[in-house]
Structure 1
Amino acid sequence: MIKILLVDDHAVVRMGLTMLLNHHPNMQVVGEASEGNEGIKKALALKPNVVIMDLSMPHGKDGLSATEELMKQMPEVAVLILTMHDDEEYLFKAIQAGASGCILKSAPQDELIAAIESVAEGNAYLHPMATKRLITEYMEAIKQGNTQEAISLLSDREKEVLTLIAKGFSNKEIAEKLTISVKTVETHKGNLMEKLQMKTRPELVQYALKKGLLGYGI
């Protein structure tokens, strides 16, 4: 069962999401909050697996600030940013704040369910337009030759693991692809985070895409 906390300043949105998600056999909305500070307090108390966080909340702490603070206190929780802004600036800010993913409020129900399941499993999720933009940046990085720094920092196996993380594979799937144990994958991921001074999986995804490692050796 995926336990979900909703943080959105619109009661009607929270009510609609609660009805939708509670109807799913593997999901349960365990709490609601109308702004970021309340969301952080309820997350600490309720221990959800996933926090669905509205980006723009004019009264109280906004979604980006709340996500950044929540990641400091509960790095194990997955935050899925829910936004009406199809804007690259918001996307990068959300990832930098520690969010596991970002989805548009206009997205179909099936996409929202898939996004929740993905981040709950420890994967990153970006809506299709966001993915397209990141890939565009990756191609631009290739053209400009901005890949040497990343390659020189990492071992060949670490680059393979990072590439598969960026492609959205879970630790178990990476282990199967590389014929290694899940524990070894977790060790490589820990080494990646230490070398690159990062704390979350979405940060690794953003780094891999920006440094042009998407197609490395796979």
Structure 2
Amino acid sequence: MVIRVVVADDQAVVRTAFAGLLATQPDIEVVGEAEDGAAAVRLAAAHRPDLALLDIRMPGLNGIDAAREIIAASAGATRALMLTTFGLDEYVYDALMAGASGFLLKDATFPELLHAVRVVAEGQALLSPDITGRLIAEFTRQRIAAPPARSIEGLTGREVEVLVLIAQGLSNVDIADRLTITAHTVKTHINRVFAKMELRDRAQAVILAYELGLVVAGSGAGGIRPRGPGAGR
């Protein structure tokens, strides 16, 4: 499968460099380049790419708003990967809430760029355990004050365990090892959690786990730990 990509950045050097690097890969096709968010939205509507690589900070329509419009217009078929200058960019949480599936530093290496594009295009979230713990916890504590609109009443105990481990940044294989079950079973649990909670990907699952208070900042994988003695059971 060829991954069709739109690249948007107001810095021509960055935009051209990323587009040129991606175009060298046989499984990636750059279908358009945009200098701002509005142009990215138009290109996405015209080409229906699999992925939009968007700079968070652009003049006019910024990358976050562009991501929100692109994802909504495509009903989630186009995924958004955000470009940022700093690992703790203050807008990263907003980007995830807008539907982005992860973010990438502008000084990322070529292998890191390719990995990010392929991972997000496959429907996964690009959130390392370290970033999950430091960033999502920080911004969730700061931004989410209202009681969550959803609850975990519809989830089984095992599904709650899987959700917590996703929030800790564990891969399917790591979750399988932790729970002593097969990777296939883990995938089944994840699919059920996503369906019941109407989640699109792991990024939304991480945010939901924090909103529901299933994890809090502390020790452990990704710098977070289950909340309360009954969490995860």
Same fold (TM over 0.5): yes
Q: CA RMSD in A?
A: 3.3
Q: CA 1:127 to 1:201, structure 2 compared with 1: closer, same or farther past 3 Å?
A: closer
Cα distance in 2 for partners of 1:131, 1:164 equals: 11
* Partner of residue 179, structure 1: 185
Distance 1:86 1:47, change over 3 A: same
Residues 5, 52 of structure 2: 8 Å contact kept: yes
Q: CA deviation digits over 1:78-131, x for unaligned, max 9?
A: 100001133353121110111000111122222121111111111111367533
Name the amino acid aligned to 2:97: Q
CA 1:113–1:181 in structure 2 vs 1: closer, same or farther (change >3 Å)? closer
Match of 2:195 in 1: 190
Return closer, same or farther for 1:8/1:164 CA change in 2, 3 Å cut-off: same
What secondary structure, in the 3-state scheme, does the structure 2 residue paired with 1:100 have?
coil
Name the counterpart of 2:5. Answer: 4
Give the Å deviation of 1:157: 3.7
TM-score by length of 1: 0.76
Partner of residue 212, structure 1? 214
Are residue 71 (structure 1) and residue 71 (structure 2) matched?
A: yes
Amino acid at match of 2:65: S
Contact 2:93 2:136 in 1 (8 A): no
Q: How many equivalent residue pairs?
A: 203
1:212 alignment partner AA: L
Verify the 8 A CA contact 1:48 1:77 in the aligned structure 2: yes
Closer/same/farther in 2, CA of residues 111 and 131 from structure 1, 3 Å limit: farther
Gaps of 5+ in 1: 141-148
Alignment deviations for residues 33-87 of structure 1 (CA, whole Å, 9 cap, x no partner): 11111111111211111110011112x2111111111121111211000011333
CA distance in 2, matches of 1:14, 1:208: 34
Describe the superposition over 1:17-42 as per-residue Cα deviations: whole angstroms up to 9, x where unpaired: 12211112321211111111111111
Larger helix share, 1 or 2: 1
| TM value normalised by structure 2 | 0.72
Q: Which runs of 5+ in 2 are unaligned?
A: 142-149, 216-224
